[in-house]
Amino acid sequence: MEAMGWGRYPKATADLIEPADAQSLQKIVASQKKSASCISRGAGRSYGDSALAGQLIGSRFLDSFLALDEQQQTLRCGAGVKLGDILKVCLPRGLFLPVLPGTKAVSVGGAIAADVHGKNHHRDGSFCQHVIQISLVLASGEVVSCSATQNQELFRASCGGMGLTGAIVEATLRLAAVPSRYIDQRSLVANNLQECFAHIEDNADSKYSVAWLDCLATGDDMGRSVLYLGEYSKGKNRKSDRKYQDRSSISVPFSTPSFLLNKSSMSLFNSTYFSLQKHKSRTSRLDYDNYFFPLDRLSNWNRLYGSKGFLQYQFVLPGEGALEGITTVLEKISKQGKGSFLTVLKKFGEANENLLSFPRSGYTLTLDFKNETSLFPLLDELDRIVLDHDGRLYLAKDARMSEAVFKASYPNWEAFMAIKAKVDPHNRFASLQSNRLGLAT
């Protein structure tokens, strides 16, 4: 089959095996030749090549709910369960996932392997900080359970480890009690990047916080943006406020001709969006689905970037240099005539102890770029700015970072490799990304 990530770049030919349960997965892994490599694949919502290899192990059938403890607020489930399915079951019981990425289509295994973050990292950390235990099938075929207290090294390497230590088959997650499915959203307009940073800092105690930026505004307007803050609606704690509602979505039926995406169309989109938001009501009450997953309403929106796909570029810069570094990045992009529809800025809290997790204290900026030959030299230049500011790129979005950039910005890569060498000495779990980044034993 032809396989690809959400960015539809790069593409690879792969065999897909979808074991029916953990025991079948064990047998498959144990019976493989030592030289054969494979990688787990969840819902394919990572953008680049982290879930691409000649052989893919799908988790579609590892989709059981194994135990929900409402008193302890924990859930044990298969790695193939989607975050949206968890919300469907838990929300009517007043329980929610403490950390959610921007799509509910992600699998539990994929969320753990990338240690995903949400709009509340500054308050609640990343997904794996709410993971109590995981079970994974190692290259030997053995199933091992690990947690922050049991097989701790393996846990720290596997949370955020991009599937390279083994295939996660199940996990126990901590849930959070919520009063309702509604979020009270407040929006604040910022006329430039400095004002946006000031708004974010002034509202750092807000539960959820994310800013949309007009990435093509220049001069005094550079970084003009809208900051969206969110808190759970207190309401009257009625049962109906915790009801799960599945929304319908519309689908993009085919790839859009990519010539429609040029600097003028993006500039028009960015400035129109900013003007509309500027004059819109500053407070609103949104269903959690509209607040957390607005992009899920347009399924297959990745086709909008044309048949060659797109690259999402997400980096984090630590506190002090972040404003200056992000300004330099925006200047460089607009000078090159490139643009992004979706440019998002978030504040991160402290890093956790996982060896390859992306978040660290500072600011993270995300941009989408249409895939074209002239993009790659620009991204190399952006990498240099990121490194100069002591930052790093997110592996779940990456499709082209060099080994040198990766190793210079993920200081724990050697500690990670030492653990991988113990549990996967023949490099059975490998992806196109891990081969490119020099993460082979």
Ligand X SMILES: Cc1cc2nc3c(=O)[nH]c(=O)nc-3n(C[C@H](O)[C@H](O)[C@H](O)COP(=O)(O)OP(=O)(O)OC[C@H]3O[C@@H](n4cnc5c(N)ncnc54)[C@H](O)[C@@H]3O)c2cc1C
Q: Counting contacts by CB under 6 A, is residue 39 touching ligand X?
A: yes
Q: At what angle do helices 319-335 and 375-388 cross, to 10 degrees?
A: 160
Distance CA(97)–CA(83), nearest Å, equals 8
Q: Counting contacts by CB under 6 A, is residue 356 touching ligand X?
A: no
Give the number of other CB atoms < 10 A from CB of residue 294: 12
Distance CA(299)–CA(284), nearest Å, equals 25
Report which residue type is found at 82. K
Inter-residue contact 189 to 277 (CB < 8 Å): yes
Stretch that binds ligand X, among 104-112, 185-193, 216-224, 418-426 (CB under 6 A): 104-112
Q: Counting contacts by CB under 6 A, is residue 103 touching ligand X?
A: yes
Tracing tokens 């800092």 back to the chain, one arrives at 201
Closest CA to 190 of 201, 174, 175, 177: 201
Give the number of other CB atoms < 10 A from CB of residue 101: 22
Q: Counting contacts by CB under 6 A, is residue 116 touching ligand X?
A: yes
Report which residue type is found at 158. S
Check the CA dihedral 194-199-204-207 and report its sign.
negative
Q: CB 219 → ligand X: shortest distance, Å? A: 30
Q: CB 88 → ligand X: shortest distance, Å? A: 17
Site residues (CB under 6 A) for ligand X, limited to 148-167? 162-163, 167
Closer residue to ligand X (CB): 7 or 94: 7
Q: CB 171 → ligand X: shortest distance, Å? A: 9
Distance CA(428)–CA(166), nearest Å, equals 9
Binding mask 418-437 for ligand X (x = CB under 6 A): -------------x------
Identify the residue among 117, 156, 400, 428 touching ligand X (CB under 6 A): 117
Identify the residue among 26, 37, 73, 107 touching ligand X (CB under 6 A): 107
Q: Counting contacts by CB under 6 A, is residue 41 touching ligand X?
A: yes
Stretch that binds ligand X, among 29-37, 103-111, 258-266, 333-341 (CB under 6 A): 103-111
Stretch that binds ligand X, among 114-122, 185-193, 218-226, 332-340 (CB under 6 A): 114-122
Inter-residue contact 5 to 50 (CB < 8 Å): yes
Q: CB 237 → ligand X: shortest distance, Å? A: 28
Check the CA dihedral 63-66-68-73 and report its sign.
negative
* 7 three-class SS: coil
Q: Counting contacts by CB under 6 A, is residue 362 touching ligand X?
A: no
Q: CB 363 → ligand X: shortest distance, Å? A: 14
Q: Counting contacts by CB under 6 A, is residue 360 touching ligand X?
A: no
Site residues (vs ligand X, CB under 6 A): 6, 39-46, 50-51, 59, 79, 101-103, 106-107, 109-111, 113-114, 116-118, 162-163, 167-168, 295, 396, 431
